[in-house]
Structure 1
Amino acid sequence: MRIISFVTLFIVLSASLSAQSYQGEAGKAIKGATVNVGAMALDTITDYSNFSGIKTPNKNWKAPDFKTNPDRIIFQEAPSQQKASKPVSREMSPTPTKNFLSLEDNQRSIPPDVNGAAGPNHLMTTLNTEVRIQDKEGNVLMTTALGNFWRPLPGTSGTFDPKILYDPYNDRWIMTTPSGSNVNESKLYIGVSTSSDPMGDWNFYWVDTDASNIAWFDYPSIGFNKKWITVSGNMFGGDYYRTVFVFDKMAAYNGDEDINFTRFSTYEGFTLVPSVTYDNETEDQYLIATGDGNQNGYGYIKKFKLSGELNNPVFEYQGDIGIPEPWSGWGGDYGNFLPQMGSSQLINSVDARMETVIFRNNKLWAVHHVFLPAGDPQRCAVQWWELDTDGVILEHGRIEDQSNTFSFAFPSIAVNANEDVMIGHNVFSSTQYAGAGYSFKAYYDEPNSMRTYYQYKEGEAPYYKTYGGDRNRWGDYSATCVDPENDIDFWALQEFAMIPQGSDTWGTWWAMVKPSFSPVADFTSDETIIPTGESVNFTDLTIGVPSEWQWEFEGGVPSTSSDQNPQNIVYPNEGTFTVTLTASNVLGTDVVTKQQFITVSSSILPEISFSADLEKVCVNQPVSFTDLSLYSPIQWEWQFDPSTVTFINGTDPYSQHPEVEFNEANDYAVTLTATNLNGSSTLTEFDMISAGGYQPWFAEDFEYNGFERNNWEIENPDHSITWELFTIGGNSPGHTAAGVNFRDYMAIGQRDRLISPPFNLEGMTNAYLEFQHAYAQNTAVPATDSLIVYLSADCGETWTRLKAMGEDGSGNFATHEPTTDPFFPQVASDWCGDGWGSECNVINLDAWLGMPNIKIAFETYSFYGNAILIDNVSISQTVGVDQQPAISDVHIFPNPSNGVIHVLVPEKSGIHQVELLNQMGQKLMSKPVNGPGEILLNESSQYAPGIYLILTSGIGKSATHKVIIVR
C-alpha cells in the first residue's frame, strides 16, 4: 500500500498497480431493419402470446460473492473518515412538478424490470411486458409489446430486461434488450433512433451473445460516450462470467448495414455497469461493479475502464475501492427481505449489484442498494458514490433508516448540469405499502449528504406474486434521468404496488422534479479593510444562477452597479460601510446586506507577510518570493543581507513578487517594506534562505509531507513507475518509506532517480551519508534490481557514483530471503542490519568537506523484481544517527510527543549533557546530567511540530536520537 502525501484523510492505494487488461474479440452486429416505431401502436393487437411469454424468475437465486484481492485495491478510505452513517439533511427533497401513471401490470411478468428515459419532448417506458411512449404531460402516444417493438429481429418471443437511454449530444434514443434465456438462442438487440422523435425511424441490430453456445446473456447494463455504445451482461449456463460489448456508436446512428463491436469477457465482478457519459469530448469510458461488501471490516466496489481506438478498444480492470462501512450483499430467504403493510410476505430485494453509473465533469456517480448491518441485515439502504477517475472517493452516502422501520431499494441516479443529484428509489416498510420515491441533493448541499426522501407515489395494496417460484419479485431496477431539454430538471420512473386487478398488481409512475434555482445571494471582495482612497473589487457568489444583479455601495464611488462582479469601487472617506446585493432570476429574488462590510482607515498600514517557494537552495538557484501583505499595498521594496543577490526574469527590488538568485553560500535575511496610501511597514525574516543547502545534521524519514517537506525531486524518464511513498513496517519512526515497486514495472533497464535537496558541508570536520534499505530478490526472474547512489558537487549538473548495490545471492544487498512473493518490509528483520542479509549503508563524504551545493541521488535500475525501499536518510558528522548509538540504553518517550520529551538516563551511562537540536544541528536547549534519572525537554511545548535530534554526550562518546513533536 502506498500513501499519497497530499491526501491526509484517506488511504490511497497503488495507482501504480498495473491494471488487468483483457483480450477482446471483434465482431459485427447484424442490421435487421430500419423501422418506424410510430406504426407499431398496439391498437389492433390483443394477443400478446406471439411477442411475449410470461416472465418467471430463476428459482433459488443467490448473489455471488467476489472477494477483494488486497493487491488490487486502488483506494481505501481511512476508518476515521466514515461518512455513510451521516444523517440525511432535515430539508425535504423538492416536490414533483408533474407526476402521472406510466404502465400498469398486464399480469405477464414479474418483475417488470422498470426502465425509461426522457427526451426533449417525449418519455419512453420500457418494461418486460410493454414499451410506451408518452408526451411530457403523460398523454399516451404509443404502446406495444416488448417483443413487438423488436419484431423485425429473430427470436422476439423471448425478450426480457430492456434498458433505454437518451443521448443529448446526438439527439438519439438508445435501447437494448436480450432475447432467449438459453445457450442456443441467446441474442442481444440494439436499437437507435434516427432523430429525437422516438415515434420516427429506428435502426435495429442484433448479435449472437456467445457463438459457441456455452453461455447465455442476462441483465444488460448500458452506457455510452462519444465513440461507443457499451452493453454489459452476466453470462450463465455452461460457463459463468461477465461480458462487455462495445459498439461503434456513430455507425449505428448512421444506419450502417453491419456495425463493428468488440466483445470482452471477465470473471471479475458481477453486473459491470458502464457509465452514461455526459461529456462529448472525453475519450474513455468507465464501468463500476459491486465487489465484496463485507471483507475485513470494509465494503468494496470494482472499477473498470474502456480506452483506446474506436474499433480497437482496451478493456481493463483497474482495481477495488473500499470504505470502512461494510454491508451484506443480499438479505437471505432467496432475497425476500423488504417489509410491507398488510402482509407477512416479504418483497424480494434481489442483491447489492450496481445499478447506474454517471460520468460528468470528470467525475463518476454510482448507486446500488445494500443490506445492513453487515452479517445480520435488518434493513435495506441505498448507497451512492462520487469518485474521481482515479477511483478516489470524493463523496459517498446512504439513504437509510437506522431504526430499521423503512428500507430503500432499487435505486437509479442522475446528475444535472449544476451537479444536482437525484436518486429515484422504492420505499418499503411494515407501516405502508410499497411506494415510489426519490432523494435529492443540490450542488450546494453539505458533502456526503442527501435530503430527506420524498415519496411521490404511495403504494395502494399489499403485493405478493411468484408464479410458482420462491421469490416475490420486484424491480429489478428503476430509471432516473436528466431532462435533455434544459439539462436541469429530473425525471424518475418507479414501481409501486397497485390495487389488485384479479391478482396482486404492480404499476409504474413518472415524476418530474424541477430543482429550485431561486437565487441565494452572497458575495465577497478582495479587501475589506483598506486605507482611505483605495478601491475594492467585488465578486458575486450567488447560487441559483442569477440573471440580474443590483449592488449598493454605501460610501463608495460609484454608489451602485448592475455588473455581476463590480470592479474598482473607490472609498474616499474614512469609516465603516454597508454593501447590499440583490440577485434575481425568473424564479425569484434574494437580497443580502452585509453591515459594516468595508472598513476605511486613514491610519492603517500594510501588515507584512511573504513566502518563498524554496528556502534551502544551491548557490545561484532561482527563488520566487510571494508578497502576502494585507491592507492594499501599492509599492514594495525588497532587501537581502548579505546583498549578494541577482534579480532575474524582469523583476527588481521593487517588484511585488520578485525572483532572485543568491550568489554565495550563506544564510540570508530577507526584508520587505510595503507601502499603501497611508504609509509603510517593514518586516525582516532572519536566516530565511540558506544558499548552498542544508547544513547538517540532516535527517529524512518521509513521514510528514513525504517528498515535499524537504523538496526531494524525482527523475522519471519513461513517465512510468517511479519513486513513491509506501506504507511499511519494521522501522521507526512512523510507517512510511520511499521506494520503487518493480513488481509493477513492466520495463527492464529503466532508471529512476530520487534526488535530495542541496547540502552545505562547509565547517564540518567529517561527513557521513547513512540510510536504511529493504529488498528481497524475486526468484522468478533471472536477474536482480539495483540501487546506485550518486553525489553531485554542482547542484546536479554532474554526478559521481558513490556506491552501486545489486544482490548476488549472498545477501550482499538483499535484506530478506529470496522469494517469489511480492515483498514489502513488515518487521525489523526485513530491514538492513537487523536480520538476514545486508548491513545498512554508511558512506564517507569527507572528500567533499567545505563544499556547498551537494546533492545526493538514489537511482534504481529495474529488472521486474521486488520493491527497493529506503528510509531514514541522514547526513551528519557522527556515524550512527538513530542506528548505531554510542550510548544505547537511553530511553526517550513518548516518541512522537505532543509536547514534553522525557529522556531516561540509566546508571553508569557516562552521560553528562542532553541537548535538543533542530535538523540543521542548531542547539535549541541544553540540560546537564548529574546522574541516572529523568530529564525533561521542551517543558513549555515551545517548539513547533517537526523532527528534532537529541544529542546525549559524555567524555569521549556521544549519540544522536531522532524525536518527533506533533500537535
Structure 2
Amino acid sequence: MNIDYNNDGYVDNVAFIIRGEATAWSTLLWPHRWALYSEYVYIHGKRVYDYNFQIEERLFITGVGVLCHEMFHSLGAPDLYHYDTNPIDPVEDWDIMGKTTDPPRSMGAYMKYRYGGWIEDIPEITECGTYSLNPISSQGNNCFKISSPNSSTDYFVLEYRIKEGVFESVIPNSGLLIYKVNTLEDGNGNGSGPPDELYVYRPNGTLEINGNITSAVFSADYGRTEFNDNTNPSCFLSNGQDGGIFISNIGIIDDEICFDVNFEKEPVANFAASSTTITENCSIDFEDSSLCQVNTREWFFEGGTPEVSTDQFPTGIFYENAGTYDVSLTVSNDWGQNTITLSDYINVSTTALPVADFSSSNQAICSGSVVSFEDKSEICPLSWEWEIIPNSGVEFVNGTSSTTQNIDVAFNEIGEFSVKLTVENANGTDEIIKSNYIKSGGIPISGSWGETFDYSSMDNSEWRIVNPDNDVCWEIFDIDGSTSGTKAAGIQLFEYMAFNQRDQLISPVLNMNSPESSCFLTFKYAYTTTNPNYTDSLIIKISHDCGESWTRVFAIGEDGTQNFITREMTEYSFTPVDQEDWCSAGFGAQCYTIELPDCGNKPNTQIMFESASIIGNNLYIDDISIDILEGVYNIPEKKQISIFPNPSTGILTLSSLHKLDVLDASVYNQQGQLIKRLNINSIQPRQPFSFDLSGFVRGVYFLKVTGNDFLIMKKIVLEN
C-alpha cells in the first residue's frame, strides 16, 4: 500500500471514525480535519500528520456530505463559510466547503483548480467576444476567469452549474455562476472573513447586505442577462470599488451556456450577410457582428442600393447588375475605430441556380391536421411550386396555394405523404423531394416502436408536455444506469409542493396499422420516495382519437411493498446513477409490461405518462417500447417476472418473487413466430431459471409465459 503518494515523508491522510455522539461545533468531538503537530507517530516509517476525525452519529445524520467536506480539508481546501455571526454568506449553497448535504454538492471550478488540482488551469478571457461554457461536471471548457482592470488582486470566475445528477441536484438552480477571487486571501478561505477568498455574486448582495444567495445564477430564463458596474448585483471588488467588467447577452440553460464579454478598448469590425451569391435584381440583409462596444457604424456597399448605411442590421440592400462587389464596415467607440473590407464579397451571378429546401411545423400528425411549410430556399427564388404526393385528401388552406412561397396544408386522409418543392430564379430551377415526410394518422407501427429520449430538450422531440400550473413539468435529464444512453424523461417532484398536481408527457401520434393484434407497452423507470407515508403516482393512458378522450391502462404508487420504488428511500433529491437504480435491476420494483387495449388498425393513437405529485421524489422514464404481436392475448396486472441480463448476448435468467405454475413458456420473434419453447413447469421464488438464445441473430424477441390464470409477455434484446 502506498501511504505517501507525494513522497514527502508523511502519511497522506488518516481517518478516525469515533463511535458515539458529537458535542458542540469547534470542539474535539466534532467532525474536523487537523494535524498531529505535537506528536510523532509513524506507519512504515512515514509520519502521521494530517488526519480526519469523524463521529459515527454525525455520519448517520449527515451521510457522506460532512465526510467529503473534511476529506477536502485534508487536500488543503479551507472553509468557505464564516466562523462568526457575520450576516454575509459568501458562498453557501454553491460549494461543498460552504455547506454540507448528503449527497454533497460539487466544489466550484476555482476550488478544483486551487486545492484539488483537478482543473489544470482556468483560461482567462482577454478579448471581446462571445463565449460558451460546458457544465462544471464536464472534462473541458468548464470555466473562465476575467481580470478586473481596476484591481491587481481581485479577479472573476465564471462557471456553468446544472441542477441535475447525483451531486449537483442539491444546488438551488441552474445557470451561469459568477464569483470573485481575492488573491490576498489565497489559502485562507472565508472562515475569518471578510475579506473573503471567494464571494458569489447574488441579487441585492453588497459588502454589507447578504442578498439572495439561492438566486445567484444568471440566465435568460430568469431575465438575468447582464453583469457590470451598474447591474444588480454590481461587479464590486473586495474594497467596494467598481470591478469594471462587462458581461451581457447571457443565454438560456441548455447543453452549454453562452455570453458576451466586452472590454474598454477599440472595437474589432466584423459582419455577415444573409447570402453572398445572388442573381441580378436581388436583395441581401447584413448583420454587424463586431466585437467590443460599438457606438457608431458606417457601411459601404459597392454596387448596392442604398450604397451606405449606419444601421446595425441593414436590410434589403439591392443589387441590380452582375459582378463582384466589395463590402466595408467601419465601427467606432470611445477608444478608437476599426474597419473591415471584404473584397469581392458579393457575387451577383447570371448562372447561379436556386437551392431548394423547406421545413414544416410537424411531421407525425393527427389526420385532419393542418401543417405549415416554410420555404428555406436560397439564391433569390422568384417562384415556387409545391406538390403533395399522393394528392388525395390534401387541401391548401388559409389563403395559400401550390404556388405561394409558404403554405398551409390540411391532411384529411390517413397515410404517408411525400412533399416536393420546385423553385425558380432568374437563372433556372431546382427541386427537393422529402419522401414519406408527413405521417398523417401518426408514425406507422407494424412491429415495434421505441423511444430513448436522446434529445437535448423536449422542444427538440415530437413529445408534448401539458403543464397546467406552468411550474415543474416533464423534461430531459442527464442520467446514468440506463442501457440505452445517458438521457431520460423525468419530472423533478422532490421540491414540488403542488399537492396532487397532474403533469402529462404525451407521445408523438402513432398509427397502429396492423390488423387485430395484441400490443404491449414496456418501459423502464426509476423512482424512490422521501417519506414512507407519501408517494407520487404514475398513471398511463391511451387515446385513439388524438387526445380527445383517454382510457387509463395502468396506475401505480408505492404501497409499502416496494411495488413502485426502485431504490431505498432517501431524504435527498433522487437521480439514477447506476443500473440498480432502475426497475428490475436490483432493489425494489420490477419493470412492468402493459397490454394496450383495442390497438389493431388504430391510427391517431397517443400514449400519456401522467405524474401525480404527492410530496415524493423525482421520477424518470426511459426505453419506452410498443410491440405488436398477432395472436397473443391478455396479460395480468399483478404477476410479474424479470429477465436478466437484458440486453443479452444469449444466456438469460428468468426469476420471479412469486411461485408461478407454468403451462407454457415460449420465445417469439417480432413477427409473432415461435422460435423456442422452454422446458419449464414452474417458476419458484428466488430460484432463477436460465435459458440460451445465443444461436439466434441479434434483435428483439418476446418471451410468453402462460399459466392457468395469467399470460406474461417480456421483451428480450439480443446483442452480438
What TM-score do the two structures reach when normalised by structure 2?
0.58
Give, as a single letter, the amino acid of the residue that structure 1 aligns with 2:98. F
Looking at structure 1, the residues matched to 590 and 437 of structure 2 have their Cα atoms a distance apart, in angstroms, of: 38
Distance 1:770 1:67, change over 3 A: same
CA distance change for structure 1 residues 561 and 394 in 2, over 3 Å: closer, same or farther? closer
Report the counterpart of residue 714 of structure 1 in structure 2: 465
Larger Rg: 1
Contact 2:328–2:341 at 8 Å: present in 1 too?
yes
Instruction: Give the superposition deviation at 1:811.
Output: 3.6
For 1:616, the aligned partner's letter is: A
- Residue 22 of structure 1 corresponds to none
Tell me: CA distance 1:869–1:329, structure 2 relative to 1, closer, same or farther (3 Å): farther
- Asked if 1 retains the 8 angstrom alpha-carbon contact of 2:518 and 2:599, the reply is no
Q: Does 1:795 align with 2:543?
A: no
Partner of residue 161, structure 1: none
Shift of 1:775: 3.4
Match of 1:570 among 305, 309, 318: 318
- Deviation of the 1:642 alpha carbon: 1.3
Counterpart of 1:833 in structure 2 is 584
Identity of aligned residues (%): 30
Q: The residue matched to 1:639 in structure 2 has which SS?
A: strand
Q: Larger % of strand: which?
A: 1
Q: What is aligned with 1:666?
A: 415
Change (3 A) 1:641 1:352: same
Shift of 1:712: 1.3
Structure 1 residues 859 and 424: alpha-carbon distance in aligned structure 2, compared to 1, 3 A threshold: closer
Could you list the per-position Cα deviations for residues 668-727 of structure 1 after superposition, in whole angstroms to 9, with x for gaps in the alignment?
Answer: 111011122223211111111222212232111223335345421111222333323444
1:890 aligns with 2:704: no
Q: Do the aligned residues in 1 keep the contact of 2:169 with 2:573 (CA within 8 Å)? A: no
Residue 835 of structure 1 and its aligned partner are, at CA, apart by 4.0
**Deviation of 1:391 (Å):** 8.4
Task: Work out whether 1:772 is the aligned partner of 2:524.
Answer: yes
Deviations 1:95-148 (A, max 9, x none): 99xx9xxxxxxxxxxxxxx9xxxxxxxxxxxxxxxxxxxxxxxxxxxxxxxxxx
Question: Aligned runs of 1:9-158 on 2, under 5 Å?
Answer: 63-64=82-83, 66-69=98-101, 85-89=122-126
Other-structure match for 1:354? 199
Residue 387 of structure 2 corresponds to 639
Structure 1 residue 820: Cα displacement: 6.1
- CA contact 1:299–1:325 (8 Å) conserved in 2: no
* Residue pair 1:425, 1:438 contacting (<8 A) in 2 also: no
Structure ranking higher on relative contact order (CA contacts 8 Å, 6+ apart):
1
CA distance in 1, matches of 2:714, 2:315: 64
- Partners in 2 of 1:334 and 1:76 — Cα distance? 13
Aligned CA RMSD, in angstroms, stands at 5.7
Q: Deviations over 1:434-467 (max 9, x none)?
A: xx9977568799989999xxxxxxxxxxxxxxxx
In the alignment, is the contact (CA less than 8 A) between 2:297 and 2:310 conserved in 1?
Answer: yes
1:686 aligns with 2:531: no
Residue 387 of structure 1 is aligned with which of 210, 213, 218?
Answer: 218
- State the alpha-carbon separation in 2 of the partners of residues 620 and 962 from structure 1: 40
Superposition deviation, residue 854 in structure 1:
0.4
For residues 613 and 77 of structure 1, the distance between their equivalents in structure 2, rounded to whole angstroms, comes to: 41
Whichever residue aligns with residue 769 of structure 1, its letter is: L
Unaligned runs of 5+ in 2: 1-79, 84-96, 129-145, 160-164, 209-215, 251-256, 636-640, 652-665, 672-692, 704-712
In structure 2, the residue corresponding to 1:654 is in which secondary structure? coil
Instruction: Give the aligned partner of residue 630 of structure 1.
Output: 378
User: Which amino acid in the other structure matches residue 650 of structure 1?
Assistant: G
Report the secondary structure of 1:655's partner residue. Answer: coil
Q: Which residue of 2 aligns with 1:196?
A: none
SS in structure 1 opposite 2:320?
coil
Q: Does structure 1 residue 415 correspond to structure 2 residue 229?
A: yes
CA distance in 2, matches of 1:526, 1:707: 29
> Which residue identity does 1:89 align to in structure 2?
T
How do residues 506-655 of structure 1 correspond to structure 2 at under 5 angstroms? 515-516=264-265, 518=266, 520-542=268-290, 550-560=298-308, 566-583=314-331, 588-643=336-391, 644-655=393-404
Q: Deviations over 1:269-294 (max 9, x none)?
A: xxxxxxxxxxxxxxxxxxx9x9xxxx
1:700 to 443, 451, 461: 451
Matching residue's letter, 1:67: K
> Residue 890 of structure 1 aligns to which amino acid in structure 2?
T
Change in 2 beyond 3 A, CA 1:852/1:366: farther
1:415 aligned partner, one-letter code: D
Q: 1:325 to 1:534 in 2, by over 3 A?
A: same
Listed as ranges, the matches of 1:817-896 within 5 Å are 823-845=574-596, 847-877=598-628, 889-890=648-649
Query: Which amino acid in 1 is paired with 2:561?
Result: S
Tell me which amino acid in the other structure corresponds to 1:352. Answer: E
- What SS does the corresponding residue of 1:600 show, helix, strand or coil? strand
For residue 613 of structure 1, report the CA deviation from its aligned partner: 2.9
Q: 1:962 to 1:720 in 2, by over 3 A?
A: farther
Q: Deviations over 1:917-947 (max 9, x none)?
A: xxxxxxxxxxxxxx98999xxxxxxxxxxxx
Deviations 1:741-770 (A, max 9, x none): 433222322222111111111135442111
How far residue 875 of structure 1 moved from its aligned partner, in angstroms, is 0.7
Secondary structure at 2:598's aligned position in 1? helix
Deviation, 1:815, is: 3.7
Structure 1 residue 805, shift from structure 2 partner = 1.9
Query: Distance in 2 between the 1:544 and 1:322 partners?
Result: 22
Cα distance between partner residues in 2 of 1:722 and 1:300: 16
Counterpart-to-counterpart distance in 2, 1:299 and 1:911: 43
Give the match's secondary structure for 1:704: coil
* Contact 2:524-2:621 within 8 A present in 1 as well: yes
Q: Secondary structure at the match of 2:500?
A: strand
Structure 1 CA distance for aligned equivalents of residues 549 and 382 of structure 2: 43
- Give runs of aligned pairs for residues 18-417 of structure 1, distance below 5 A: 63-64=82-83, 66-69=98-101, 85-89=122-126, 331=186, 350-354=195-199, 387-388=218-219, 414-415=228-229
Determine if contact 1:72/1:320 at 8 Å carries over to the other structure: no
Shift of the 600–913 alpha-carbon distance from structure 1 to 2, 3 Å rule, reads farther
Which shows bigger deviation, 665-674 or 386-395? 386-395
2:649 alignment partner AA:
V
Contact 1:84-1:448 at 8 Å conserved across structures: no
Distance in 2 (alpha carbons) for counterparts of 1:75 and 1:639: 58
What's the counterpart of residue 28 of structure 2?
none
Cα contact 1:73–1:322 (8 A) shared by 2? no
Q: Is the 8 A contact 1:76 1:321 kept in 2?
A: no
Answer whether contact 1:738 1:869 (CA < 8 A) is retained: yes
Q: Does the C-alpha gap of structure 1 residues 693 and 809 become closer, same or farther in structure 2, counting only changes over 3 Å?
A: same
Q: Name the amino acid aligned to 2:475.
A: E
Measured in 2, the distance between the counterparts of 1:837 and 1:715 equals 29
| TM-score, structure 1 normalization | 0.45
Once residues 774 and 547 of structure 1 are traced to their aligned partners in structure 2, the CA distance between those partners, rounded to angstroms, is 54
How much does 1:776 deviate? 3.6
Structure 1 contact 753–859 (Cα < 8 Å) conserved: yes
Instruction: State the secondary structure of the residue aligned to 1:754.
Output: strand
Q: Structure 1 pair 645/324, CA: closer, same or farther in 2 (3 Å)?
A: farther
Structure 2 residue 583 is matched with structure 1 residue 738: no
Partner amino acid, structure 1, of 2:433: T
Cα separation, 1, equivalents of 2:349 and 2:501: 62
> Hey, what's the Cα distance between the residues in 1 that align with 2:588 and 2:190?
56
Work out whether residues 441 and 511 of structure 2, in 8 Å CA contact, stay in contact via their aligned partners in 1: yes
Q: Deviations over 1:127-171 (max 9, x none)?
A: xxxxxxxxxxxxxxxxxxxxxxxxxxxxxxxxxxxxxxxxxxxxx
Match of 1:205 in 2: none
Aligned equivalents of 1:422 and 1:334: distance in 2?
20
